[in-house]
Structure 1
Amino acid sequence: MRVSVDRDLCVGAGQCVLSAEEVFDQDLHDGLVVLRTPDPSLAGLDAVRDAVDRCPAGAVTLHEG
């Protein structure tokens, strides 16, 4: 599994961080998403899926396979 983010789409809602703080963070200057790791553990898969579903801007993508 691989995660990607599009900072141009991000609106800074922070839902990704609330869902999977080990994978996502927010930039202190503009509040936009920061990807901590593009290759999270399998144990965090449900949290990452939740982050994808909760992102209001569609800025978080999960690539499975």
Structure 2
Amino acid sequence: MKDVIMWRRKPMSVGVLTTMTMLWVVMEIYGYNFITVASWIAIFLVSTLFTWANIYRLIYK
């Protein structure tokens, strides 16, 4: 964690900064609240896992 904060791991630090900036833009400028954004992320993760499991089952049958 301190490597990210101290910018020793630059790619991960840039990724964290970019993600937090996009989250701030969505929440402040567009007016969405945290529950809405968290729900979108959860739905995306569940649907991605479901799709990946079905594709994996078909490919490696």
TM-score in terms of structure 1 length: 0.23
Rg bigger for which structure? 2
Greater relative contact order: 1 or 2 (C-alpha under 8 angstroms, separation 6 or more)? 1
Whose strand proportion is higher, 1 or 2? 1
Whose helix proportion is higher, 1 or 2? 2
